[in-house]
Amino acid sequence: MNNIRSYIEDRILPFVETPGQYIGGEWNSIKKENNNVDVTIALAFPDTYAIGMSHLGMQILYGLLNERRDTACERVFAPWYDMEVALRKHDIPLCSLETFKPLREFDIIGFSLQYEMSYTNVLNMLDLAKIPLRRDERTEKDPLIIAGGPLAFTPEPMSDFIDIFFVGDGEEKLPQFIECFKTIKHTRNLSREEKIVSLVRDIKNLYAPSLYVVTYNSGGVINRVEPRLSDVPPVVRGASISNLGKAYFPENLIIPYVKTIHDRISIEVMRGCTQGCRFCQAGMTKRPNRIRSVDNVLNLSEDCYLNTGHEEISLGALSISDYPHLKELMTRMGTVFNQKNVNISFPSLRISDQLTKLPFYLNTVRKSSLTLAPEAATTRLRKVINKNISNEDLFEGVKEAYKEGWNLVKLYFMVGLPTETDEDVEEIANLAYKVSSLRKEVKGSFGNVNITVAPFVPKAHTPFQWEPMISLERIKEIKRIIMSKIRHRRIRVKFNKPERSILEGVFARGDRRLGDVILQAWQDGCKFDAWDDHFDYDKWKIAFEKVGLDERFYFCRDRGEDETLPWDHISSGIIKEFLQSERKKSFEQEFTPDCFTDGCPDCGACARSEHYVKA
């Protein structure tokens, strides 16, 4: 390993961009002697160091695993183009940051699957590590390839390449996984498949694609997905932490040497969301709400600050406005951190009657932008998606923000939602003008408004999982409508790349046949598909043609509620009857109240539901 490190440092790093992302050794990183541990695992993030090191989940798992004496956990990220070229030229395998150990020498490699457009990076990292891409081509000498994250709830497109998917929350089950793996590692004469079967039998939240058979009907729709063995569960339920306050959280966060996307401390104050937005996969799969106490959040914040020195603390949740003790939390956070010049921030805010109070809570050291997500601009369409917000609350909240000194408001919208009309689209521009003009009422000049517009992508495990996605042509037409309506120097519009949204829609609800498309696209040069400068839609279209699949079958086709979906054998606890009921209510423009404050809708996710099954 020392030879590899010396070679990389002497022959490669002087000639690549941002070499600091490849050297490891950061403050609070952990380096163990691998000969003193039983299990070695590399956490692999299929994007750049700058993005991966901004992801809280990786820091949590890294700290959790390294607290174990029997486990050495290291990190690896997708190398940028220049580094990849150098590694291939010098025939150097992809190595970990901590010890420069080749990935193929680890017991386990765990990929974090956060976004569908990172799939080709997974294949590229495996290839750079000199590990067979397809799971059925690996031998007992190869590492076990596992994957977790939100896309483990829709695993089929990557099922040819991943040995085991870890579904749901990882903090409580990972230690059990390590214990089971340690046992089978020291059991002689077990084949690779026997090891996988043993793990799946012991831990019910694991999905091993090799243990399931998928059959299709003549139209290409799935007929059934069933286990090959009698004691393998027909449906895999995602793991769920019951008490967030007792869940592991790393106080010694790694401090990167180089600039990352989010150079700050992130504290998760609440997990889950029960607002019930019908488009939101995270809001469905992460139910029910679990909160940290104010004391817990404050203690974690102080400890992380002392161990890192970061000048910003971001309080995270799917809907931070719903945190029941927000006023007390922000008051006490301000008392502790204002005098230290530490900024307190929220990722985004839900629009409600509480919004008028939030700018004051955030009136700390530095005022950046205020981020709000109306999602839809008309009341009618908000009823369809169960976004129970009003323009009055939005306007009053924005006015308070302007009064408190904010100059920039960011608004997020989706287009292509079910039942959307041109009137709904045009109202986005009208709403942006109104938000900008509100500053003139309180400060005498227009405010800056940044609009981000994203095509709606129907997601699995939501009430809209059966809905078709709009065509590429319609997305481009909507873009023209919005751009023609906005002619104001204070309003900026960013429109997500529509072609990439189409592909996201394909893989978000895809089956395992798409593995051939992903492999073909990677072979044709696709990688870093989430990056505008490197995304090549034409290559993906050619890959579909070579494989013989029609992308329209996946993104713009109506699905019947009786159809077997590619994720029906993966469960977050939400029952299909609830999703069907919510779908029906969407077309009737009927709101479903938040069960955190109102009655139980019997979705199946928690013990209050008659259909609840413990994870």
pLDDT tens readout for residues 282-293: 999 999 899 999
Q: Is the peptide bond before 233 cis (omega within 30 degrees of 0)?
A: no
Look at residue 365 in the predicted model and tell me its pLDDT. 47
Window from 207-221, 339-353, 359-373, 508-522 with minimum mean pLDDT: 359-373
pLDDT-derived band of residue 361, with 50, 70 and 90 as boundaries? low
Asked if 86 and 22 count as a contact pair (C-beta separation under 8 A), the reply is no
Mean pLDDT across the stretch 134-160? 97
pTM (2 d.p.): 0.96
Dihedral sign computed on CA atoms, order 30, 36, 37, 43: positive
Look at residue 28 in the predicted model and tell me its pLDDT. 96
Asked if 56 and 166 count as a contact pair (C-beta separation under 8 A), the reply is no
pLDDT exceeds cutoff 50 at 108? yes
- What Å distances lie between residue 117 and 474, 499, 501, CA to CA? 22, 12, 9
pLDDT exceeds cutoff 90 at 215? yes
Return the DSSP state at 71.
E
* Spatial CB neighbours of 72, under 8 Å, sequence gap ≥ 6: 32, 34, 37, 39, 40, 41, 66, 98
What are the backbone angles phi and psi of residue 58, rounded to the nearest 5°?
A: -65, -40
Strands (E), 269-369: 270-271, 290-291, 312-316, 343-345
Return the DSSP state at 10.
I
pLDDT exceeds cutoff 70 at 363? no
Model confidence pLDDT, tens digit, residues 242-261:
999 999 999 999 999 999 99
Look at residue 362 in the predicted model and tell me its pLDDT. 67
Would you tell me how many other CB atoms lie within 10 Å of the CB of residue 423?
Answer: 11
pLDDT exceeds cutoff 70 at 49? yes
Asked if 579 and 263 count as a contact pair (C-beta separation under 8 A), the reply is no
Coil, strand or helix at 546: helix
Q: If you count DSSP H runs as helices and E runs as strands, how many of each does the chain have, helices first?
A: 20, 19
Mean pLDDT across the stretch 55-76? 96
What are the backbone angles phi and psi of residue 274, rounded to the nearest 5°?
A: -120, 20
Mapping DSSP onto H, E and C, the string for 458-523 reads: CCCCCCCCCCCCCCHHHHHHHHHHHHHHCCCCCEEEEECCHHHHHHHHHHHCCCCCHHHHHHHHHH
- What Å distances lie between residue 22 and 320, 342, 542, CA to CA? 35, 29, 34
Average pLDDT over the chain reads 93
Mean pLDDT across the stretch 207-217? 98
Which string of b and e fits 425-435 if b means at least 16 CB within 10 Å?
Answer: bbbbbebbbeb
Domains of the chain: 2-237 (3.40.50.280)
Q: For residues 64 and 247, what is the distance between their CA atoms, to the nearest angstrom? A: 10
Q: For residues 286 and 272, what is the distance between their CA atoms, to the nearest angstrom? A: 5
Mean pLDDT across the stretch 564-577? 96
Q: For residues 205 and 261, what is the distance between their CA atoms, to the nearest angstrom? A: 32
Look at residue 401 in the predicted model and tell me its pLDDT. 85
Would you tell me how many other CB atoms lie within 10 Å of the CB of residue 560?
Answer: 8
* Spatial CB neighbours of 209, under 8 Å, sequence gap ≥ 6: 135, 155, 156, 159, 160, 162, 165, 512
Look at residue 347 in the predicted model and tell me its pLDDT. 79
The percentage of the chain sitting over the pLDDT mark of 90, rounded to a whole number, equals 81
Look at residue 36 in the predicted model and tell me its pLDDT. 82
Mean pLDDT across the stretch 532-540? 97
Mean pLDDT across the stretch 551-580? 96
pLDDT exceeds cutoff 60 at 38? yes
Look at residue 611 in the predicted model and tell me its pLDDT. 61
Model confidence pLDDT, tens digit, residues 148-199:
999 999 999 999 999 999 999 988 789 999 999 999 998 888 999 999 999 9
pLDDT exceeds cutoff 90 at 613? no
Which string of b and e fits 179-202 if b means at least 16 CB within 10 Å?
Answer: ebbbebeeeeeeebeebbbbbbee
Asked if 182 and 39 count as a contact pair (C-beta separation under 8 A), the reply is yes
Window from 272-286, 337-351, 472-486 with minimum mean pLDDT: 337-351
